[in-house]
Amino acid sequence: MTRIAIVEGDGIGHEVIPVAQNVLELLHPEYEYFPVDVGYHRWEQTGCPCADRDIAELKTADAILFGAITTPPMKDYQSVVLRLRKALDLYANLRPVKGDGFDIMIVRENTEGLYSGIEEIGADRATTLRVVTRMGTERIVRSAIRLAHQRNGRLTIGHKANVLKSDVLFRDICLAEAKAVGISCNDKFIDALALDILQHPASYDVVVTTNIFGDILSDVASYLVGGLGLVPSANIGDRYALFEPVHGSAPDIAGRNIANPIAALRSAGLLLAYCGDARGSERIEAAVQEVLAVGIKTRDLGGSAGTREFGEAVLRMLRQTNRST
């Protein structure tokens, strides 16, 4: 039996993840769904945001649907997201940005870089170690190359090798790997890339870059499709996989039924594709597009529908297609 761990997390995660779970349960009632409670709220209650037993439970899942997590700017608080990425070795963060005339896949190295977690904090100085390794770079660019082969065969490397010596290593390894397999490849400084991807999105297919650059670039690219509320992501390793909206926990709008659940729904679609149901993934996207087409939109898209109401409309569309097939 396919087992899906459901992690709502914090803030609007409690609102958007149930919408996505409802869709998954409609399409696959035979799956086993089980909750795992981690996040800032757990830390407030127990002093531990994510325990070893939580990670052990997540490792029993075939896939994880993950909500937003609040990470407070406190030196004694360990990021749940960073811990899970390392504990499950989710080294490839895939962030698709698809719209009218463009289809971009941002492939972000997910376990090292400036999010290495190696830090020293003092009264007058704080230091974070930016780590780029040959192993980490080889496996992320190979993931990107595999995707490029499946898509349009074009790879772009985003870096800042003109300033950062660690990015010289990253760029050179990526270029060598692409050349070895004959994939079409170019490279750009990350700041120029962030501008050009907004101006000429159709020029890009697969983009591979380091951890923090990928984080920022995917947020920038979300402007092309209407904002962070619409962009999903997949965190993939050799053994485990976690799917989450790109957006954060948005505590300022939490509990008001106004968050856009599309990113969570699309993340559920990526989860289904990973589990072998590409058709189910396509059905979720089609239902989202049909709901938008009839004018049902959340406030961030200029509409008046609430989180739950949008989710219910998607469920109705899916039920209609069930009856017509």
Active-site amino acid positions? 115, 160, 191, 215, 219
| Helix axes of 134-150 and 165-181: crossing angle, nearest 10 degrees | 40
Q: Which residues contact 39 (CB under 8 A, 6 or more apart)?
A: 7, 8, 9, 10, 13, 49, 50, 69, 70, 80
Can you tell me which residue has the tokens 């020029």? 203
| Helix axes of 307-324 and 13-27: crossing angle, nearest 10 degrees | 10
Q: What are the residue ranges of helices labelled H in 182-261? A: 190-199, 211-221
Q: Per the structure block, which two tokens stand in for 176? A: 């060598």
Could you tell me the CA-to-CA distances from 266 to 2, 12, 56, 124 in Å, in that order? 19, 16, 26, 43
CA distance 146 to 144: 5
